[in-house]
């Protein structure tokens, strides 16, 4: 018999599958080329867990930690994100992460940097289908261009496995034209700055 949480989660998933899939579409706004996962056993495997909601149960694509149970994801976005919630799917075993720490706009974090206070932390439950949703503090995560997720521990195994990480929220395109205009206008243009000596000489010649 399935655990109560899984059963309820399955029912909710069946009823809200399409809606949930649309809500958890921020994976399409990740700069996958520059996304990195520290301590991944297989190179590039960390990128595979950011996938469509419909593929969350694809257990062939997963990331497993290497030297110990820790995993750290540096996730750059192609614009600004208002992050509202996160889902994490793992196995029903001790390899499932037990804690998740969030850091906003701290590019290129390492495990050494993770000793600083996180912007938000969650105690995780074992979730094999995506029934658990971890709601973020929207005031804190309302303008995110880089998100770091640190999974420091699991439920007792030597390594940690994650099959899916879902990010829910709103996306806004990054606007660069304002900076370009400022740079252009701040550069002195010769025709905008007349030389007083030249004007004086021209006036003398005209007499």
Three-class HEC string of the chain = CCCHHHHHHHHHHHHHHHHHHHHCCHHHHECHHHCEEECECCCCHHHHHCCCHHHCCCCCCCEEECCCCCEEEEEEEEEEEEEEEEEEECCCCCCCECEEEEEECCCCCCCCHHHCCCCEEEECCCCCCCCCCEECCCCCCCCEEEEEEEECCECCCCCCEECEEEEEEEEEECCCHHHHHHHHHHCCCHHHCCCHHHHHHHHHHHC
The residue ranges of the chain whose pLDDT is under 70 are: 1-17, 176-207
Domain limits for position 144: 4-206
Distance (Å, whole) CA 184 – CA 172? 25
Query: Residue 21's pLDDT is what?
Result: 81
- The number of folded domains in the chain is 1
Looking up residue 202, the CATH number of its domain turns out to be: 2.60.120.470
What is the model's pTM? 0.77
- Residue for token pair 């208002």: 82
pLDDT of residue 22: 86
What digits encode the pLDDT tens for the residues 138-148? 899 999 999 99
């Amino acid at each position: 018999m399935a655990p109560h949480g899984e059963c309820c989660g399955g029912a909710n998933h069946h009823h809200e599958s399409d809606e949930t899939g649309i809500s958890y579409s921020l994976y399409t706004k990740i700069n996958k080329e520059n996304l990195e996962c520290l301590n991944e056993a297989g190179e590039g495997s960390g990128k595979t867990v950011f996938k469509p909601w419909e593929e969350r149960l694809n257990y062939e694509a997963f990331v497993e930690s290497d030297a110990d149970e820790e995993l750290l994801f540096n996730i750059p976005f192609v614009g600004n994100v208002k992050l509202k919630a996160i889902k994490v799917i793992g196995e029903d075993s001790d390899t499932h992460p037990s804690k998740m720490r969030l850091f906003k706009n701290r590019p290129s974090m390492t495990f050494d940097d993770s000793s600083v206070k996180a912007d938000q932390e969650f105690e995780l439950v074992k979730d094999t289908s995506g029934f658990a949703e971890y709601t973020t503090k929207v005031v804190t995560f309302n303008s995110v261009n880089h998100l770091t997720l640190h999974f420091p521990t699991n439920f007792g195994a030597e390594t940690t496995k994650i099959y899916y990480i879902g990010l829910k929220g709103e996306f806004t395109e990054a606007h660069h034209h304002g900076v370009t205009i400022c740079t252009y206008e701040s550069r002195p243009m010769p025709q905008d700055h007349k030389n007083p000596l030249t004007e004086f000489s021209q006036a003398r010649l005209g007499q």
